[in-house]
Amino acid sequence: MASPIDVPALLRRLGIDSESTNAGAYDGAFTHGDGGELVSHSPADGARLASVAQATRDDYERSVRTGLETFDRWRMLPAPQRGEVLRQIAEALRASKDDLGALVSLEMGKVLSEGLGEVQEMIDIADFGVGLSRQLYGLTMHSERPQHRMYEQWHPLGTVGVISAFNFPVAVWAWNAFIAMVCGDVALWKPSEKTPLSALAVCHIIDPVLERTGWRGVLNCVIGDVDEVGEPMLDDRRLPLVSATGSCRMGKIVGPRVAARLGRSLLELGGNNAIIVLDDANLDLALVATAFGAVGTAGQRCTSTRRLLVQKGVAAELTERLVKSYSSIRIGHPLEDGVLCGPLIDGDAVTMFTDAVARIRADGGEILCGGSAVDRPGHYVEPTIARVPPDFAFAKDETFAPILYVMEVDDLDHAIRVNNDVPQGLSSAVFTDSMRAAERFLSHAGSDCGIANVNIGTSGAEIGGAFGGEKETGGGREAGSDAWKAYMRRQTCTLNWGDDLPLAQGVTFDV
Ligand code: NAD
């Protein structure tokens, strides 16, 4: 079916021309790269949206140089004034929220309320960054030496490389770039090749603000092939930090490569998130949280619920209610009212889904509902529930699709063991009315994930907390709390205001 909105008009409002090839690099100026045409199609119906002229290694070089030159000036601007530039970016995003949210839905496939929610997340982190610009605190310590003062302060790092995934095509960049810029860094963005237009639209939204404030060159972007603009970041000593969001496969390349030059990486990788439902849980809450977590964004969130670990006493009832609720979930174009499940990102993702279902069946799992691709233009699949034993080996892999494994567990201890028995460690949740069970789940002997929730599902984090996960999820933390420290370097300073030079630890050195 045709798109419910006038797509060329939407793109035009966001600075994108659907008729001709658009710039693929932005470093204060928009440049058409020589890296070939990258066409973006909507996963909703396969329609061509627009194309970009991909950036090459030369564009990458130019953008890095622009960033370095800008950094020399930007780091000298007081942090609250950097925050003021970000405040104006937040205003620009507010003005474009509806359009950018719609484009994210069209290009990535998430339903409109989630597309709008993603832009709201950008606005939220911008607002957070504005406040943070007055709170980049360091500690003071008591020196052991008389008439000495010791304290620590935080300095900007330089250029931060930001590699982002397709499933959050704009918000993840904002988490990184907005905090980095407030910290005094400049950011160079390599967006996903699957969502180039969303990135380009963001550049068009922020450009007038950067121009007006005189700060073009602080936020730069290269849309291009991994070989041309992705991998160069990994080996580039001019980028002290590379923040990379994506699959564990990608993280296993990025981490060692950046480490080989003793650079820093901040890795936000795959998840395999479980909701535990105990016998005493409020099943109404658990049902909605599980359905949203498993089906929202068509199962393409890093925090999507992939495993439901349900205690024996409520397993049959909850499973039956879930299967029933799945039958009322409308699959369809993400911009259509009432649709809860949009498409997967592309044909490969559909193949991955059907292969996974075949593997589940072959390994003895029982498909309770769904399990097929949907026969219509676009890349749609049915939300799927599979009943499998708790030690089902294939469930340890992240399949980036709406497949929920239901596993029956004996008790909380058993559930925690199963929760933790996967390579990834991003998000987790327990549903229970028992304070003791909740505290046990949250304790150091409980969930081993970076996110642990009680009576809330695994997906839909707020920006105020530090976001990220353990084990193969990569260990990085982004967004709120003190995650800003990853974008700065710490300096410990000791000042002597006395007439003597006492040495630490009572050491003497008389000359
Ligand atoms: P992906 O790993 O295929 O790609 C992510 C990004 O990495 C893209 O921009 C891609 O071009 C780039 N990339 C890939 N190989 C690279 C290399 N060798 N050098 C430099 N860049 C490289 O992931 P995807 O399919 O876009 O996204 C889905 C995955 O991302 C899922 O596993 C999901 O769980 C994960 N994810 C994690 C988080 C988190 O915060 N933990 C958030 C969103 C997505």
CATH number of 273-463: 3.40.309.10
Q: What is the mean pLDDT of residues 2-28?
A: 94
Q: How far is the CA of 274 from the centre of ligand 1 (A)?
A: 21
How many secondary structure helices (H) and strands (E) does the chain include? 14, 24
Q: What confidence category does residue 287 fall into, taking pLDDT thresholds of 50, 70 and 90?
A: very high
Q: What confidence category does residue 181 fall into, taking pLDDT thresholds of 50, 70 and 90?
A: very high
Task: Indicate which residue's Cα is closest to atom 20 of ligand 1.
Answer: 230
Using one digit for the tens of pLDDT, what is the confidence trace for 353-368?
Answer: 999 999 999 999 999 9
* pLDDT exceeds cutoff 90 at 4: no
Whether the Cβ atoms of residue 106 and residue 7 lie closer than 8 Å to each other = yes
**CA dihedral defined by 166, 168, 171, 176, rounded to 10 degrees?**
-60
CA distance 272 to 303: 7
* pLDDT exceeds cutoff 80 at 1: no
% pLDDT > 90, the chain: 98
State the closest ligand 1 atom to the C-alpha of 426, by its place in the atom list counted from 1: 41
Q: What is the mean pLDDT of residues 256-273?
A: 98
Using one digit for the tens of pLDDT, what is the confidence trace for 293-332?
Answer: 999 999 999 999 999 999 999 999 999 999 999 999 999 9
State the closest ligand 1 atom to the C-alpha of 233, by its place in the atom list counted from 1: 20
Q: How far is the CA of 453 from the centre of ligand 1 (A)?
A: 25
CATH 3.40.309.10 in the chain: give the residue spans. 273-463
Whether the Cβ atoms of residue 60 and residue 95 lie closer than 8 Å to each other = no
* pLDDT exceeds cutoff 70 at 2: no
Whether the Cβ atoms of residue 152 and residue 191 lie closer than 8 Å to each other = no
Using one digit for the tens of pLDDT, what is the confidence trace for 121-156?
Answer: 999 999 999 999 999 999 999 999 999 999 999 999
Task: Indicate which residue's Cα is closest to atom 30 of ligand 1.
Answer: 246
CA distance 308 to 62: 48
CA distance 98 to 470: 35
State the closest ligand 1 atom to the C-alpha of 168, by its place in the atom list counted from 1: 43
CATH 3.40.605.10 in the chain: give the residue spans. 63-269+474-490
- DSSP readout, 14-67? TT--SSSEEP-EESSSEE--SS-EEEEE-TTT--EEEEEE-B-HHHHHHHHHHH
Q: The tokens of 131 are what?
A: 């406040």
% pLDDT > 70, the chain: 100
Catalogue the active-site residues: 268, 302
State the closest ligand 1 atom to the C-alpha of 304, by its place in the atom list counted from 1: 34
Q: Is 142 helix (H, G, I), strand (E, B) or coil?
A: coil
Q: How far is the CA of 226 from the centre of ligand 1 (A)?
A: 11
**CA dihedral defined by 75, 77, 79, 82, rounded to 10 degrees?**
-100
Q: What confidence category does residue 3 fall into, taking pLDDT thresholds of 50, 70 and 90?
A: confident
Q: How far is the CA of 473 from the centre of ligand 1 (A)?
A: 11
Task: Indicate which residue's Cα is closest to atom 21 of ligand 1.
Answer: 230
Runs of H (alpha helix) within 422-499: 435-442
Q: How far is the CA of 282 from the centre of ligand 1 (A)?
A: 35
**What's the one-letter identity of residue 328?**
S
Q: The tokens of 447 are what?
A: 């969930």
CATH 3.40.47.10 fits 63-269+474-490, yes or no: no
Using one digit for the tens of pLDDT, what is the confidence trace for 185-199?
Answer: 999 999 999 999 999
Q: How far is the CA of 251 from the centre of ligand 1 (A)?
A: 8
- What is the pTM assigned to this prediction? 0.97
Task: Indicate which residue's Cα is closest to atom 15 of ligand 1.
Answer: 250
Q: How long, in residues, is the chain? A: 511
Mutating to test ligand 1, I would choose from 250, 273, 352 the residue with most ligand atoms within 8 A of its C-beta, which is: 250
Task: Indicate which residue's Cα is closest to atom 14 of ligand 1.
Answer: 250
Q: The tokens of 177 are what?
A: 């770039």
CB atoms within 10 A of CB 408: 19
State the closest ligand 1 atom to the C-alpha of 270, by its place in the atom list counted from 1: 34
CB atoms within 10 A of CB 375: 6
Ligand 1 neighbours (beta carbon < 6 A): 163-168, 172, 190, 192-193, 226, 230-231, 234, 245-247, 250, 253-254, 268-271, 302, 398, 400, 426, 469, 473
State the closest ligand 1 atom to the C-alpha of 163, by its place in the atom list counted from 1: 9
Task: Indicate which residue's Cα is closest to atom 9 of ligand 1.
Answer: 192
Q: How far is the CA of 187 from the centre of ligand 1 (A)?
A: 18
Mutating to test ligand 1, I would choose from 57, 167, 172 the residue with most ligand atoms within 8 A of its C-beta, which is: 167
Q: How far is the CA of 211 from the centre of ligand 1 (A)?
A: 31
Task: Indicate which residue's Cα is closest to atom 11 of ligand 1.
Answer: 192
Q: How far is the CA of 16 from the centre of ligand 1 (A)?
A: 25
State the closest ligand 1 atom to the C-alpha of 302, by its place in the atom list counted from 1: 34
Using one digit for the tens of pLDDT, what is the confidence trace for 377-410?
Answer: 999 999 999 999 999 999 999 999 999 999 999 9
Q: Is 149 helix (H, G, I), strand (E, B) or coil?
A: strand
